């Protein structure tokens, strides 16, 4: 391997820049050339390639977003798009590609590897929904952002003795909801993986909690369930308690990465380059039992992962009303 290309793909995540910096500097330190590809696979297909040197990645370790920009690229799902992307790699002499992103981005890396471009994936998404790994870049920062926002919502929720529904990101997964729900001490945490649409249970919970003297009721709703505004209206009608919904949205994707995100991103970034130098391709870097490992992309994409049942149980059983039963 002589020239490495790096791209960030899909939804951005805090810590992606730390991964770009680490991969770039690791590669330069090993005598390789480094190219940055702008706007993910879209930029690869459209030949938007820049040179990266050690200076180009200075002072980005603490920056949110991604200096390489990111995109969701439907063209990369077509053979034609994949061939164009491989052609851009060849034109620039890129014989090792590092892709930071989620499952969809790994699928693109897999196709490029099949077309003869060495490719390694790095898990980067706030959602934590990549089955092969215990950690994905951006999760910790996003959870902290959501937790701080919930703490603020609680202040006003208490003053007005309201029910507050706070909707958090995570696509179809409930990892962000579960973690920020536990970390912020929410009364209810609604998870797509566990949601049974029995709203009456939630309504009963609110009424009982209020009777036992709690002045607010925070419900964390995962975006995979959604409909928070309508839910607030129904809850207000059923309980007679003023209810409001707050959708946190894209603020959860921004901000300076936490130390944890910078650390994991740095190790993932360096490890991806190390794997390419070992002659490996079509692999994804991951964390298993606290160790940094790598998997074949096909194997990684076929894995399944579940929420921790213990954490799900705690989210429920530490709520005020449950304990006073």
**H or E, element range at 31:** none
Instruction: Report the nearest approach of ligand F6P to the CB of residue 42 (Å).
Output: 13
Residue 292's CB: how many other CB atoms inside 10 A?
16
Closest CB to ligand F6P among residues 20, 126: 126
Closest CB to ligand F6P among residues 169, 270: 169
Reduced to 3 states (helix: H, G, I; strand: E, B; else coil), residue 126 is coil
Instruction: Report the nearest approach of ligand F6P to the CB of residue 17 (Å).
Output: 16
Closest CB to ligand F6P among residues 50, 251: 251
Is 249 part of any known ligand binding site?
no
Closest CB to ligand F6P among residues 145, 319: 145
Distance between CA atoms of 283 and 286, rounded to whole angstroms? 10
Is 26 part of any known ligand binding site?
no
In this structure, what is the dihedral angle of CA atoms 72, 78, 82, 87, given to the nearest 10 degrees?
-110
Instruction: Report the nearest approach of ligand F6P to the CB of residue 213 (Å).
Output: 35
Distance between CA atoms of 97 and 324, rounded to whole angstroms? 56
Instruction: Report the nearest approach of ligand F6P to the CB of residue 171 (Å).
Output: 4
Is 234 part of any known ligand binding site?
no
Is 279 part of any known ligand binding site?
no
Residues that bind ligand F6P (CB under 6 A): 11, 72, 125-127, 169-171, 223, 253
Closest CB to ligand F6P among residues 237, 251: 251
Catalytic residue, chosen from 12, 53, 114, 127, is 127
Is 103 part of any known ligand binding site?
yes
CB 124 within 8 A of CB 137: yes
Instruction: Report the nearest approach of ligand F6P to the CB of residue 173 (Å).
Output: 8
Contact partners, residue 262, CB within 8 Å, separation at least 6: 15, 18, 61, 62
Q: Which residues of 213-232 are buried (b: 16+ CB within 10 A; e: fewer)?
A: ebebbbbbbbbbbeebeebb
Is residue 196 part of the annotated active site? The answer reads no
Query: What stretches of the chain adopt beta strand conformation (E)?
Result: 3-8, 33-37, 49-51, 96-101, 119-123, 163-168, 188-190, 217-222, 243-247, 283-288, 291-296
Is 73 part of any known ligand binding site?
yes
Report the alpha-carbon angle 295-25-275, nearest 5. Answer: 20
Distance between CA atoms of 145 and 142, rounded to whole angstroms? 5
Active site residues: 127
Q: Which residues are annotated as a binding site?
A: 11, 21-25, 72-73, 102-105, 125-127, 154, 162, 169-171, 185-187, 212, 214-216, 223, 244, 250-253
Q: Which residues are annotated as a binding site for ATP?
A: 11, 72-73, 102-105
Q: Which residues are annotated as a binding site for Mg(2+)?
A: 103
Q: Which residues are annotated as a binding site for ADP?
A: 21-25, 154, 185-187, 212, 214-216
């Amino acid at each position: 391997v002589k020239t490495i290309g790096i791209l960030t793909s899909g939804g951005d995540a805090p810590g992606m820049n730390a991964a770009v910096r680490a991969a770039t500097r690791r590669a330069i330190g090993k005598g390789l050339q480094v190219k940055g590809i702008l706007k993910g696979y879209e930029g690869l297909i459209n030949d938007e390639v820049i040179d990266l040197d050690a200076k180009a990645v200075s002072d980005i370790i603490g920056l949110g977003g991604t200096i390489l920009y990111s995109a969701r690229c439907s063209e990369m799902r077509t053979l034609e798009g994949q061939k164009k992307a491989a052609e851009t790699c060849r034109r620039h002499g890129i014989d090792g590609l590092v892709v930071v992103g989620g499952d969809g981005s790994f699928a693109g890396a897999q196709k490029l590897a099949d077309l003869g471009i060495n490719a390694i994936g790095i898990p980067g998404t706030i959602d934590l929904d990549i089955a092969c790994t215990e950690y994905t870049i951006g999760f910790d920062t996003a959870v902290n952002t959501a937790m701080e926002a919930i703490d603020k919502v609680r202040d006003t929720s208490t003053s007005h003795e309201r029910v507050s529904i706070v909707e958090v990101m995570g696509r179809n997964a409930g990892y962000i909801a579960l973690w920020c729900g536990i970390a912020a001490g929410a009364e209810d945490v609604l998870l797509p993986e566990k949601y049974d649409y029995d709203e009456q249970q939630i309504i009963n919970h609110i009424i009982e909690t209020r009777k036992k003297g709690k002045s607010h009721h925070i419900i964390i709703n995962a975006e995979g369930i959604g409909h928070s505004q309508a839910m607030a209206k129904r809850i207000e009608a059923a309980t007679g308690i003023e209810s409001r919904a707050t959708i946190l949205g894209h603020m959860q994707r921004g901000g300076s990465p936490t130390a944890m995100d910078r650390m994991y991103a740095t190790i993932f970034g360096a490890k991806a380059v190390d794997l390419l130098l070992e002659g490996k391709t079509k692999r994804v870097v991951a964390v298993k039992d606290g160790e940094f490992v790598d998997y074949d992309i096909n194997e990684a994409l076929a894995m399944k992962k579940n929420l921790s049942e213990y954490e799900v149980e705690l989210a429920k059983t530490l709520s005020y009303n449950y304990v006073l039963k």
